[in-house]
Structure 1
Amino acid sequence: MTENDPPALRPNLLALRPDLTSSTLAGAEAAHSLVSESNFFNSLFHSCNLQGITFESSELDGSLFEGCSFRGVELRNCDIDGLIVNGVRVGALLRAFLAPEGAVHVGG
């Protein structure tokens, strides 16, 4: 294992397709957990510690992160079209910055 490899996952909790509609989890400890094929549509995560968490093949479209820390966060192979940080359309800025010199992009 190299320094860049993700840590090995040792699940403490395995939740496959759980239906937690209208549920409240308060003070839950879920270190080393695996949650798969789950839907958290229109949910609120408040004062949660998600340090070291990995999201794979997940949709965060239309989500709001307010007062959150993103120190050390890495995005790999992610669709950032429409990403807005503090009112700045970061997705469009990065697309323009990373475009080959002389390339012209027309559209959203």
Structure 2
Amino acid sequence: MIKALAVKAHSYVILADGKIPDPTRDAPDKLTSKVNTVLGLLAWVGTAAGVAGVLITGAMMAISMRRGEGSEHMGRLGMVLGGCVLVATAGPVVTFVFG
């Protein structure tokens, strides 16, 4: 039995015989379709929550301006928009890392 030595070079694992391993994905189709359905639903809910958050924050800012109060809602708006960015980039980041 020949033991292969692994050498890490330029972020590729090269075995002692010079071949680069290429593993196959063997996840069941039923499981991946269900996971994709759940992730798609969560992305839709996250996007809807982001839109609702922007609308609610905008309404609160308008009411505060009408009353003549300060605009402390900019921090809240920034947090809502930051959450929207996280929801929007979660899918592409996971695809890049695991795809």
Same fold (TM over 0.5): no
Higher relative contact order (CA 8 A, sep 6+): 2
More helix by share: 2
Length-normalised TM-score, structure 2: 0.21
